[in-house]
Every structure is written in C-alpha cells, then in structure tokens.
Amino acid sequence: MLVNLKRAFMLAGVALSLLTLPSCGKFNSDGNTSAGAPAVTPVTPAPQSAPTAQTLPDFSSIVQANSTAVVNIRTTASTKAAESPGPNFRGDPLFEFFRRFQIPQPDVPRGGIGSGFIVSSDGVVLTNAHVVAGAGNVTVKLSDRREFKAKVVGSDAQTDIAVIKIEAKNLPVVKLGDSKSARVGDWVLAIGSPYGFENTVTAGIISATSRALPDGAYVPFIQTDAAVNPGNSGGPLFNMKGEVIGINSQIYSQTGGYQGLAFAIPIDVAMKVQRQLTETGRVERGRIGVSIQEVSQNLAKSFGMDMPRGALVASVEKDGPAAKAGIEPGDVIIAVNGVKVETSSQLPPMIADIKPGESAKLDIWRDGGQKSLTVKVDPMHGVDRDKTGRNAAPQEGGRLGLAVRSLTNEERRAAGVPGGGLLVEDVSGPAAQAGMQEGDIILSVNGTPVRDAAQLRALVANKAQVALRVKRGEAILFVPIELG
C-alpha cells in the first residue's frame, strides 16, 4: 500500500510539472525562455465553494416542549413467599404436620418501572398494559418531582394499552399526531425512564411500519432504531413536529438491552383503545371467523394471481360470519371496505377495528378472478378447535412424493373432517422440500376436496405447481408445492 501511495505521489508530481512547462521552447539557465518562446503563465487553482452545512433535527426544542408531559411510573405488587416444606417433601410422613402448623409467610413486595405520558390536563395518562399488569399500587411521578397515586381505569392486553388516572389539574399534555403519515426513514425521538433513569431522551429513525409481531396480532407496530430499554415501556415516540405518533412497547434483544430493534404501538390504535376503556372499561373487536396465512409467490402462481398479496383463508369457522357470507377456504381477501390488504398481518387489525354488528365489504380472489362479498361482523370471542387422529395402510401419492391413505370414519370424526381427507404416512421429494409432514391431513388440492390417492394423482397430473390445503394438528394451512 505504501508503494502504491509513493507511486501515486510521483505521478501527481509529473502531472504538475507538465502543467507548468511551456508549450514550446527551452528553459535558459536564468529561468527565462529562449527567444520566440511564449512566457509561461502560472496556473491558479479555481476557488472552491465552502461545504454546504447539513441541517440536523432540532431535538432540544421537542424535548423542551414535551418532557414535562412525560411521567415515570412505579408499580408494586405482592407475591406469596414459598411455603415450607415445599413440594419435594410431599412423600415425607411429617409433611401433613408441617402443612398444618407452619408459620404463615409474609407477602413479598415486587416492584416495576415504566413510562407514560399525559393526554388530558385532568390527569389521564397512557402507558403499556404490561407496565401495570398485576400491580397493587401504581405511583406516577412528574418531571417536577410531584408524585401521585394512580388508578387503573382499564387495560387491554391484546394491544398492550392501559389508561391510568391521577387526581391533578392543569397538567401539561402532549400533542398527538397521525401515525399513518409516518414514513420509513423519518427521524423520531423517544422519552422515557430506561432502568429508572427518568426523562431520558434517545433518537433514531423509523425502520419499518405496519410490522407484525407474534404476540401483537391487532397492532401494526412502528419499528425504530431509537435506543429503547426496559423502563422505556409506555413512553411516547415523537416525530419531528413534536407530536406523539407511538407508544414504545417492545424490543427485540438477545441480551435484554438495546439492539436497535424497538417497536411502538401507533397512536391512532392507542387512542381508539383509550376511548373504549374510558367509556366502557373494555374493548370490543370485530371478527369474521376465519384463519389466515400469508400468500407466498408459489401460492400466488397456483391461484392465478399476478403477484403475492392479500390474506389467504386457510379455514372458515362453521356457521360463523364468513361462512354465512359465502367465504370459502382458498379465497384470498384482497381488500376490506375498499382498503387494500397487502399482507395477511394487515387483516386482523382491520377486521378488529370494525364495530360488531356492522357489515363489511370484502373483495376476494377466487378461481382466477375478483368478486365482492358482504359479511356481518361478530364480536370477538374464543373459538373451539378440533383434534386429529391417525393410522396405517398407505398408498403412493405420485409426483408429490407422498404416501397417503384415506381416513377411516372414526378418524374423520376425530379430526373433524367429515367430507374426506387423506392422511400423510410418508414424505419425500417435492412434498418434503415444501414442508409437508407425516400426520398431515390433505383436505383439498387447488380448492378441490380429495378422498383417495387416485384422485390426488389425477389432480396433480400435468401440473407444475399445486396448493394443498392441509390440517396439521389444530391448524389448517395451505402448502404450495413446486412439481417442475
């Protein structure tokens, strides 16, 4: 590398000397040019413009305007101390004696910390449900060091939103923004109490929007790389207008601390929950009675779609709203009330946001074309699931690489598939590569129900790609298989 640099400097020197040599003639010993040679004019470098100053976000003004409306939350709860003797002594003949005459153990206090922000001057505070979950006492500390006992007005574990109230007047409040206008790459600022360090300010950018998480089916999270740690939970996420666009809720971490992956609940979701909790103490959500999965590239091809989009209906609850509306397994829901469904994770919050009893227009993709259905939304409640069974005598399933057999009547009843189905006994080839498993029950191929191996072979003949509707344990899903 040093040799290369030296060579570069030498070449630069040669180039410079060429620039200062006369166009013709020779140098005399006194430095003047010989007769007839034109005088050399020194080369003057062109003046360079000053570097343009980059404008950086003014975080300080946002902090000044909003930090007084951000609060620290401390909670305490009591847990029973372990009784003695414990379960390991249950085989001891003296266990019953000790159980009757042991000294009562006192409750052990357990504390927690979190953050929140004031949304109403009379003391309404928003935070995370997990911050106040199981708390016996909740204390809110303001930035001016005043402390208040808080009452939990209501909480919703599904969205991780809680509303608490303190008895105070004329409190500073935050300005609420529009989380739907948030863009990837926008600067954001978080204020909270990480590890108990009150009113700590961190900044970053929005890394993604409408992010789906395993335990947040009804929340399209805003992902940021702002430094968020335990204790930041419930604190506000501000945009550069000084408006709250989210509530910091979760982090992804292999260490328990900051790793650049933080997730905030959009403020429009939080305010809808807050209104319901304040008015009724509970949150109502709509449901239509379907289970869904993502539409992959292979599934999209199988269904004749131009590109992967929408939410694929894997199963339909019997006598549920979707079934009554005519929705079938294999339909792809591509829009709800005119709003496009790009990914399956967008559908649950869209349906949940519809008031039970109201009707929704669903645009679906079926049999290579689009059609519309109207479904009346039910209130959300628990749904019972079926169980499966299995046994022997497989037959070859042909190009798929599956050994299958028809279900017995008892197996059909146990599995809850009275219309037929094939039990997978062995998996290899394309089916194994696609993720099929022994014990799966094949319900249909490209929307056609199957009853025996011969029908299965006929349905996949001359096909380059098929989509199997499969029951696996308690779940029903579609498996796309490439056959070449």
Please, is 253 exposed, middle or buried when counting C-beta atoms within 10 Å of its C-beta (0-12, 13-18, 19+)?
A: middle
Q: Assess whether 319 carries a catalytic annotation.
A: no
- Where do we find the tokens 């992804």? 252
- Decide: helix, strand or coil at residue 369: strand
For residue 34, what are the contacts with CB-CB under 8 A and spacing of at least 6?
25, 26, 27, 28
First CA to last CA distance, the chain: 52
Beta-strand (E) ranges in 157-258?
A: 161-165, 175-176, 187-192, 200-211, 221-224, 236-238, 243-251
- Where do we find the tokens 């007084």? 68
- Where do we find the tokens 């413009």? 49
Query: Cα separation of 203 and 187, whole Å?
Result: 7
Q: Assess whether 381 carries a catalytic annotation.
A: no
Q: What is the DSSP letter of 199?
A: T
Catalytic residue (one of 67, 120, 130, 406): 130
Catalytic residue (one of 155, 156, 160, 345): 160
Q: Assess whether 386 carries a catalytic annotation.
A: no
For residue 215, what are the contacts with CB-CB under 8 A and spacing of at least 6?
none
Query: Cα separation of 164 and 158, whole Å?
Result: 17
* φ, ψ at 61 (rounded to 5°): -70, -35
SS (H, E, C) 292-313: EEECCHHHHHHCCCCCCCCEEE
- Decide: helix, strand or coil at residue 318: coil
Q: Determine the residue type at 186.
A: D
Beta-strand (E) ranges in 157-228?
A: 161-165, 175-176, 187-192, 200-211, 221-224
Helix runs in 116-179, H state only: 129-132
Catalytic residue (one of 179, 233, 249, 344): 233
Catalytic residues: 130, 160, 233
